[in-house]
């Protein structure tokens, strides 16, 4: 009797160890940044900044480094315009939750007359970027908005996160590929 129980126990343990969890892998994705809107010069809003990533669950990202942008909004007659410097920062993490890939984090958007930020390109290499609106111009406002983000990965998915004054961050996943397991 003991041998039968021992044999059953060995078989059960062997079957449990044969089932191993394979982590879900994320296919490459793109993060696109659109600068704040500039009513005086729509072209100065610039081309979007596009970064390609191939991160896996467990990777922590302190987001791409987006450039400071100059927002301008005008009345309909374009006789009065207000300006602001916009800082857009994205911080997110990727986790596996029940065999699905979950992105969570924040988009922080700050508006002010002057913003200075430290840019770390590589460990040990940093610079400072400052953008200032002249005192002769009215300021749109000063505030910071922190928008939580949380979404589940899916092939072909496109997630748009709005910042202040028309700044946007867009996640795009390839529609033809599914994550490899």
Q: What is the DSSP letter of 113?
A: S
Contact 174, 27 (CB under 8 A): yes
Residue 158 has what pLDDT? 95
Q: What is the DSSP letter of 66?
A: P
> pTM above the 0.75 mark?
yes
Q: Which stretches within the chain are classed as H helix?
A: 2-18
Residue 175 has what pLDDT? 79
Per-residue pLDDT of the chain (181 residues; tens, 9 = 90+): 555 544 455 555 555 555 555 555 667 889 999 999 998 877 666 668 888 877 777 766 667 778 999 999 999 888 999 999 999 999 999 888 887 889 999 999 999 999 998 887 777 788 889 999 999 999 999 999 999 999 998 889 999 999 999 999 999 998 776 555 5
Residue 7 has what pLDDT? 47
Residue 6 has what pLDDT? 46
Q: Which residue has the tokens 């969890």?
A: 21
Q: What is the chain's length?
A: 181
């Amino acid at each position: 009797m003991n041998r039968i129980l021992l044999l059953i126990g060995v078989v059960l343990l062997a079957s449990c160890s044969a089932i191993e969890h394979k982590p879900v892998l994320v296919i490459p994705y793109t993060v696109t940044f659109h600068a704040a809107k500039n009513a005086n010069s729509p072209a100065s809003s610039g081309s979007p900044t596009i970064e390609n990533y191939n991160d896996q669950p467990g990777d922590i990202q302190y987001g791409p480094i987006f450039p400071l942008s100059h927002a301008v909004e005008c009345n309909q007659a374009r006789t009065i315009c207000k300006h602001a410097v916009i800082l857009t920062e994205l911080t997110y993490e990727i986790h596996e939750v029940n065999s699905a890939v979950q992105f969570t984090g924040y988009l922080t958007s700050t508006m002010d007359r002057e913003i200075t930020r430290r840019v770390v390109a590589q460990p040990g290499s940093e610079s400072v970027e400052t953008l200032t609106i002249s005192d002769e111009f009215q300021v749109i406002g000063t505030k910071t908005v922190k928008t939580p983000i949380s979404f589940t990965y899916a092939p072909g998915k496109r997630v748009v996160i709005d910042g202040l004054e028309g700044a946007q961050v867009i996640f795009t996943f390839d529609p033809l590929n599914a994550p490899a397991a």
